Amino acid sequence: MTATFGEYGGRYVPETLIPALDELTEAWDVAREDASFWDELDELGRTYAGRPTPLTRADRFAPATRLYLKREDLLHTGAHKLNNTLGQAVLAQRLGKRRIVAETGAGQHGVATASVCARFGLECVVYMGAEDMRRQQPNVERMGLLGAEVRAVEFGTRTLKEATSEAIRDWIENVETTHYLIGSCVGPAPYPELVRELQAVIGREAREQVLEAEGRLPDAVLACVGGGSNAIGMFAGFLDDVGVELFGVEAAGAASLSSGRAAVLHGARSSVLADEDGQVADAHSISAGLDYPGVGPEHAFLRDSGRVRYVTATDEEALAAFRRLAETEGIVPALEPAHALARVDDVQSELVVVCLSGRGDKDLAEALRALGS
Ligand SMILES: *Cc1c(COP(=O)(O)O)cnc(C)c1O
């Protein structure tokens, strides 16, 4: 078992998946050194996805701070997920795989996956918990329109954890023809590193844009952490800048880093919400995208090294920030990045950048119901 990030990462998978992971690692090692791979992604980013996304000053939200928002909510399909799905779809084509399986929680990764499969003419199967299908009906309908088959997962909590297990089971059965398009920087190696590199465009652009706007680097950078992909992509741009403080914000009821322990989940060793026997606990968050008991292994490493600080926000704090951004800036954020916005006042830095990972259309009904009660 090769551990990729200190004691975290590795490949805790059935023997039958090792050849597929080796094949993916090989294709990725070639692609990352190949200028034509990055040229193709740049072109797709510009002409299909809407990159670069803007950096927006948010004075009314935080009058005491110079706050900037990195606007991944303006990316095609409404969240940062597309950076990853485009990259993996190009890799799948290089592998000659014409069938894609994916898991989805809120449906954002499912929609991003279904979109790229339509764009490249690939068969697409998305596993989704039955409870999440009920909560996120519009995204289920979008995936259907995009030509994907959505398969309901009816066991356990009927949410993201079980959907991920089912997607992995499908992959094991169909590994010859199928690429597993994982939605965050989780899973067995090489996925955590692959997804980080595909999302690193967020941090690269944000660093350039804040230098352009302010002539200096920010004091602090914040991002919400579910599986951790928007955060790791954002942080990647600033990890070497020792003067920039980095903050990951978890949902208080799904705080794998703040209150988890070292354990294996979905193919990698990381920090997991689990009891002393390693039995995985259920996560609870108003935001379906953060409602996952695990987190990418690199975040566990960055926590232990002290380079990134991980804090939490409650459902109520996230809802208050959701409303405050709408009222002060005319931007309705997804509930996930509303967790990061909820911690801006505590950072007490002069110049702050927050990754606004997605837009809030999908959350409107849920948020309005919660705010009304
Ligand atoms: C999926 C999602 C997240 C959580 O996933 P990460 O891998 O932690 O980024 C956060 N924000 C939005 C808008 C999402 O759709």
- pLDDT tens sequence across 41-89: 999 999 999 999 999 999 999 999 999 999 999 999 999 999 999 999 9
Is the peptide bond between 190 and the residue preceding it cis, with omega within 30 degrees of 0? Answer: yes
Give domain status of residue 1, yes or no.
no
pLDDT of amino acid 9: 98
Q: Tell me the pLDDT band of 169, cut-offs 50, 70 and 90.
A: very high
Q: Return the ligand 1 atom nearest residue 295 CA.
A: 8
| Domain count within the chain | 2
- Mean pLDDT, the chain, whole residue set: 96
| Residue 300 forms part of a structural domain | yes
Q: Mean pLDDT, to the nearest integer, of 240-255?
A: 97
Q: How far does the centroid of ligand 1 lie from the alpha carbon of residue 226, in Å?
A: 6
Kindly indicate the confidence band of residue 316, based on its pLDDT and cuts at 50, 70 and 90.
Answer: very high
Domain match, 143 and 206 both: no
289 pLDDT above the threshold of 70:
yes
CATH assignment at residue 187: 3.40.50.1100
Residue nearest to atom 3 of ligand 1 (CA): 289
Q: Domain of 112?
A: 15-42+81-194
Of 149, 164, 194, which closes a domain?
194
285 ligand 1 Cβ < 6 A: no
Residue 9 included in any domain: no
Of 190-194, 233-237, 284-288, which range is least confident?
284-288
The answer as to whether 316 is a domain residue is yes
Query: In this model, does residue 355 exceed pLDDT 80?
Result: yes
Mean pLDDT of 229-253: 98
pLDDT of 276 above 90: no
pLDDT reported for residue 152: 97
Query: Would the CA dihedral through 157, 168, 201, 307 be positive or negative?
Result: positive
* Ligand 1 near 113 CB (within 6 A): no
C-alpha span between 152 and 234 (Å, rounded): 32
Residue 248 CB less than 6 A away from ligand 1: no
Mean pLDDT of 21-32: 97
Confidence (pLDDT) at 2:
54
pTM, to two decimals: 0.97
243 and 309 share a domain? yes
Quote the pLDDT of residue 275: 87
Instruction: Let me know whether 171 and 133 are in one domain.
Output: yes
Predicted pLDDT of residue 1: 46
Is 136 found in the same domain as 167? yes
DSSP H stretches of helix in 15-159:
18-32, 35-44, 81-95, 108-120, 130-135, 137-145
260 lies in the same domain as 315: yes
Distance 15 CA to ligand 1 centre (A): 30
* Ligand 1 atom with least separation from CA of 226: 8
Pocket of ligand 1 contains residue 230 by CB under 6 Å: yes
Residues 72 and 118 in one domain: no
Percent of the chain with pLDDT strictly greater than 90: 91
Tell me whether residue 247 is in a domain: yes
pLDDT of residue 227: 97
Q: Looking at residues 220-246, what average pLDDT do you find?
A: 98
Give the tens place of pLDDT for each residue, 317-340.
Answer: 999 999 999 999 999 999 999 999
HSE value, Cβ hemisphere, 13 Å, CA-based, for 142: 18
233 within ligand 1 shell (Cβ under 6 A): no
- Kindly report, residue by residue over 113-129, the tens digit of the pLDDT: 999 999 999 999 999 99
**Atom of ligand 1 at shortest distance to CA of 109?**
1
**Residues annotated catalytic, as ranges:** 81, 103, 357
| In a shared domain, residues 138 and 224 | no
**Same domain, yes or no, for 209 and 219?**
yes
Domain end: 137, 170, 194, which one?
194
Q: What percentage of the chain carries pLDDT values higher than 70?
A: 99
Ligand 1 center from residue 294 Cα (angstroms): 13
Q: Are residues 307 and 348 in the same domain?
A: yes
Closest CA to 94 of 32, 157, 144: 32
Q: Is 226 in the pocket of ligand 1 (CB under 6 A)?
A: yes
Residue 57: which H helix or E strand, with range?
A: strand 55-57
- Tell me the two tokens of residue 110: 């499912």
Distance 147 CA to ligand 1 centre (A): 23
Residue nearest to atom 1 of ligand 1 (CA): 289
Is the domain of 172 the same as that of 237?
Answer: no
Mean pLDDT of all residues in 223-228: 98
**Ligand 1 within 6 A of 104 CB?**
no
75 and 85 belong to one structural domain:
no
| 153/19 same-domain check | yes
Could you identify the atom of ligand 1 that is nearest to the CA of residue 184?
Answer: 7
Omega cis (within 30) before 297: no
